[in-house]
Chain A
Amino acid sequence: NAGVTQTPKFRILKIGQSMTLQCTQDMNHNYMYWYRQDPGMGLKLIYYSVGAGITDKGEVPNGYNVSRSTTEDFPLRLELAAPSQTSVYFCASSYSIDPGGTDTQYFGPGTRLTVL
């Protein structure tokens, strides 16, 4: 049981390039999330998903896209990378049988992205 895994661990992009951050969980969780962590700012929610085929925007979705074709995978796509997207990105997952659940979120190790 690996939990939540993320690839790559580090990446440097040039302005305007695109890339996909991969996230996979093997806990059969229905909820998955993408956060970004900026220094001194805590974590901000980018997108989340409540199940395969269902995604929704979080607080800071601009410049990103997601898809959820399977329960396990929740990739985050950056189109036209900008310096403002330099950050550490965390994927997380949780399980709940109802929307009002209060279950623990499990985090991946993060991807450190620099856009130059």
Chain B
Amino acid sequence: AQSVAQPEDQVNVAEGNPLTVKCTYSVSGNPYLFWYVQYPNRGLQFLLKYITGDNLVKGSYGFEAEFNKSQTSFHLKKPSALVSDSALYFCAVRDTKTGFQKLVFGTGTRLLVSP
């Protein structure tokens, strides 16, 4: 079965510093990977996705993610964190078992950016 793991429940970073939120995946076949962000009392918002092509994917709000096939990872990164980036981040993989667009989500990582 397809799955993703987010090994950190929380990541703390100071404003202006680079941030990394980790995600590893386990899939059979080619992985289709996604990052979503959830702000307090809001639904999930799409940040970026990897389907094929360049290993470095650029997304919304200055975020990017690096796909690493050998390490089965898809870490989310940003060169300079903002306080407003504080939120809950979810990694997800498309479940190819049935062929439909079902996403399997990780448990989420809370990012706290301090001023």
Contact = CB atoms under 8 A, between A and B. Distances in A.
Contact of B107 (A42, A45, A50, A103): A42
B101 to A, nearest CB: 6
A33 B9 CA distance: 26
Query: For chain B, what secondary structure do more than half of its interface residues adopt (helix, strand, loop), or is it mixed?
Result: loop
B43 A103 contact: no
Q: How large is the interface on B (under 10, 10 to 19, 20 to 34, 35 or more residues)?
A: 20 to 34
A107 B49 contact: no
Contact of A109 (B43, B98, B99): B43
A104 B41 CA distance: 21
Contacts of B44: 43, 90, 92, 105, 107
Contact of A104 (B46, B96, B98, B105): B46
A53 interface: no
B99 A100 contact: yes
B105 to A, nearest CB: 4
A76 B94 CA distance: 23
A41 interface: yes
B9 to A, nearest CB: 8
Contacts of A4: 43
6 closest A-B pairs (Cβ-Cβ)?
Answer: A107-B43, A42-B105, A107-B44, A99-B99, A43-B105, A42-B107
Interface of B: 9, 32, 34, 36, 41-46, 49, 51, 90, 94, 96, 98-103, 105-108
Interface of A: 4, 31, 33, 40-45, 48, 50, 56, 58, 90, 92, 94, 96, 99-110
28 contacts: A33-B102, A40-B107, A40-B108, A41-B107, A42-B107, A43-B44, A43-B103, A90-B43, A92-B43, A92-B44, A94-B101, A99-B100, A100-B96, A101-B101, A102-B49, A102-B51, A102-B94, A104-B46, A105-B44, A105-B46, A105-B103, A107-B36, A107-B43, A108-B43, A109-B41, A109-B42, A109-B43, A110-B43
